[in-house]
A and B are shown apart, each in its own frame.
Chain A
Amino acid sequence: MKKLLMATAASALVMGAAAQAEDIKLGIIVGFTGPIESLTPSMADAAELAMKEVTDSGLLLGGSTVTSVRGDSTCIDSGAATAVAERQITSDGVKGIVGADCSGVTGAILSNVALPNGIVMISPSATSPALSTVEDNGLFFRTAPSDARQGVVMTEVLMEQGINEVAVTYTNNDYGKGLADAFEAAFVAAGGSVTINAAHEDGKADYSAEVGALASAGGDRLVVAGYIDQGGSGIVRAALDSGAFDTFHFPDGMISSALEANFGSEVDGSTGQHPGTDSEGASAFTDMVAGAFDTSSPFTPESYDAAALIMLAMQAAGSSDSADYKNKVMDVANAPGELILPGELGKALKILADGGEIDYVGATAVELIGGGESAGNYRQIKVEGGKIETVKYR
């Protein structure tokens, strides 16, 4: 009996040691094809940068390495996205998912794959307010703020410029509808009026009918809650061509270098905002990347933070099992503890290994509130001389 106990204890020890240094796989599920395909390459690069940093430090769970498994969420096709997530979890054996990107597919993966399999998901860019209240068993977090917050920020930006009447068009999906409704609620509450709040379908050749209805409703500015690589551009093009609107307001899905390339100075005077910050972390992140990819592209710093949070939570829990580390995500993201900037993941891992506490700041001044979503800092932009310029941060 004694021998058996000894043997069991010994084998448990051996297994424990084996679990100490493993190769941890993390899924990255973003839309490499689809309506935000011009944003996603730098998002994935940022997430992988965090994984490389952790692997190189050799401090995670006794020297574990982290490798990424990329998957294409397509941004719009829930079926394809859940299939990718299913494959990553069951066949690749990922321990956590950075993603997904768009709100619709994120909700689909969460309820169909992540929840049944008990895998943690941290989305860098899903912003639909509906995801705040979705059933997630504590598995879902996001480093992007809810659009309920973006609606308020948009209202402030427009009101400060004395614009009280706008037309709104949104892409017909969870993201567009959520943002448009949040904005309308905030804008009307602040005393503005929304003349029309109409959907547009992505992937059409011709948006003149949609723009006709928007123009008829009128307004000082057209708010385009769409995607730059899709219908959003079509709407702006048709509105410019028919002279219906000269200036626009662009939320996060519309702001990318493609906006400058497609329209240049034609949209001068337009405004917009996307999640972003000028915190110490943001500049540290830009310095660290050193031009390998564009760090001012929307949701790129958020992606770094999402990957970093998963790995730090693993370290805090002493386990790469989602069921163990899901409760630690909020702990490492928020106070109390030592402040951690990008590039300091090694230091953070060491503190956690020694039993200390950290407050992860990261590239986007991460502060998780409510059901595990970012409180939200925004970069306000304007288009001037065909270039996107930063006005200020909110």
Chain B
Amino acid sequence: MDFLNAIVAFANFVLVPATSYGAQLALGALGVTLIYGILRFSNFAHGDTMAFGAMVTILVTWWFQSMGINFGVLPTALLALPFGIIATIGLLLFTDRVVYRFYRRQKAAPVIYVIVSLGVMFIMNGVVRFIIGPNDQKFADGVRFIISARDFKTMTGLSEGLAIKASTGITIVTAIIVVAALFWFLNRTRTGKSMRAFSDNEDLALLSGINPERVVMITWIIVAALTTIAGVLYGLDKSFKPFTYFQLLLPIFAAAIVGGLGNPLGAIAGGFVIAFSEVTVTYAFKKVLKYLLPENLEPTGLVQLLSTDYKFAVSFAILIIVLLFRPTGLFKGKTI
């Protein structure tokens, strides 16, 4: 019984939160890695693109809710998601047309692109705050829990509860579907193959008749879908506040680099590595150990490696270690 309690406590406070956080980071990192692989720059505006997509989805969700449309037990935001994706596609293609295309034609150095994307980030940042404001917004509806801690306790008779939020379940299922669809697209379709060819060797791809503008456009469309989905899932699971999306940029980049920039599989692995280390290193294991160890060995302290204030520090420590010892990332990506 004690052993089960320990497992449940661990699952409740480490496994479940880290898995959903990891899935959200992975979706974000996939977008970063695609842009890096195909357009060849680090897109700092990524976090705020997520905020923009989530914002449009929230506005449409509110509109649906005011008309009484809902999605039964699932959140209405999932119905509004396509509208958010379309708006984000529009925004990204517009930015590409008025900003990035100019620098692409100039064959600008990557560092110039980075600074340009920083500027784009500040503008998007402002646009989102201007439209929806800087505060927390609530838009989640539908059933809140797949299983709540109290129900779990009465069902199993254990003294520890396990809570799985509906948003966690949706996050994981959606992430799996999206990743599967993306890999199918990249590996099986003609367009996907042309994108990979373009990423591997630009000149060779141009010689074999691949239209670069088309590849760029499709990349932005996919990135728009990924960012909006990641942004909405994060907002559903946690809360929507423009500033937190800006902060998300750091762990997302850490995930993409740890996994290997330009490598989609690496982005997913990196997302989970970062999420799990952030959560495990800052978790206080006192409760789990109390169940596992005999009474005389019970810890008196919290058995916490790092205080939760240092969550971000964990992702950076991993980032630095990976860059020092394996600059291409865990999976073979490109060096920065």
Contact = CB atoms under 8 A, between A and B. Distances in A.
B309 A241 contact: no
B171 to A, nearest CB: 12
B262 interface: no
A243 B244 CA distance: 24
Contacts of A172: 309
A213 B309 contact: no
A217 B279 contact: no
A215 B163 CA distance: 13
Given A203-B241, A208-B17, A212-B284, A242 B163 contact: yes
A210 interface: yes
B282 interface: yes
Given A198-B307, A203-B244, A208-B17, A216 B284 contact: yes
A135 to B, nearest CB: 30
Contacts of A234: 239
A198 B308 CA distance: 9
B184 to A, nearest CB: 31
Given A208-B17, A217-B284, A218-B287, A242 B12 contact: yes
A241 B165 contact: yes
- Residue of A200, A201, A205, A242 with most partner-chain B CB within 10 A: A205
B244 A205 contact: yes
A206 B243 CA distance: 13
A213 B149 contact: no
Contacts of A243: 12, 148-150, 152-153, 161-163
B286 interface: yes
A244 B12 CA distance: 9
B13 A216 contact: yes
B165 A213 contact: no
Interface residues of B, number: 40
Contacts of A200: 308
Nearest to B311: A209
Contacts of A242: 12-13, 17, 149, 161, 163
A250 B239 CA distance: 22
A196 interface: yes
A69 interface: no
30 contacts: A199-B307, A201-B309, A205-B234, A206-B17, A208-B13, A208-B17, A209-B17, A209-B283, A209-B311, A212-B13, A212-B282, A212-B283, A213-B282, A213-B283, A213-B308, A215-B9, A216-B9, A216-B284, A216-B285, A216-B286, A216-B288, A217-B284, A217-B287, A218-B287, A241-B145, A241-B165, A242-B163, A243-B12, A243-B149, A243-B152
B48 interface: no
Interface of B: 9, 12-14, 17, 21, 144-145, 148-150, 152-153, 161-163, 165, 234, 238-239, 241, 243-244, 247, 278-279, 282-288, 302-304, 307-309, 311
Contacts of A198: 307-308
Interface residues of A, number: 25
Nearest to A201: B309
Given A213-B304, A216-B285, A241-B163, A203 B14 contact: no
Contacts of A205: 234, 238-239, 241, 244
A2 interface: no
Contacts, number: 92
A204 interface: yes
Contacts of B309: 172, 199, 201
A212 B161 CA distance: 13
B17 A212 contact: yes
A210 B303 CA distance: 14
Interface string A154-198: 000000000000000000100000000000000000000000101
Given A216-B287, A217-B286, A196 B302 contact: yes
A172 B279 CA distance: 20
A244 B244 CA distance: 24
- Residue of A204, A209, A210, A216 with most partner-chain B CB within 10 A: A209
A78 to B, nearest CB: 19
Contact of A209 (B161, B278, B303): B278
A269 to B, nearest CB: 14
Nearest to B289: A216
Given A203-B241, A208-B17, A216 B148 contact: no
Contacts of B282: 209, 212-213
A172 B308 CA distance: 12
Contacts of B239: 205-206, 234
A244 B286 CA distance: 14
A209 B287 CA distance: 14
B265 to A, nearest CB: 26
A317 B302 CA distance: 57
A193 to B, nearest CB: 12
Interface string A217-254: 11000000000000000100000011110000000000
B6 to A, nearest CB: 11
A69 B288 CA distance: 55
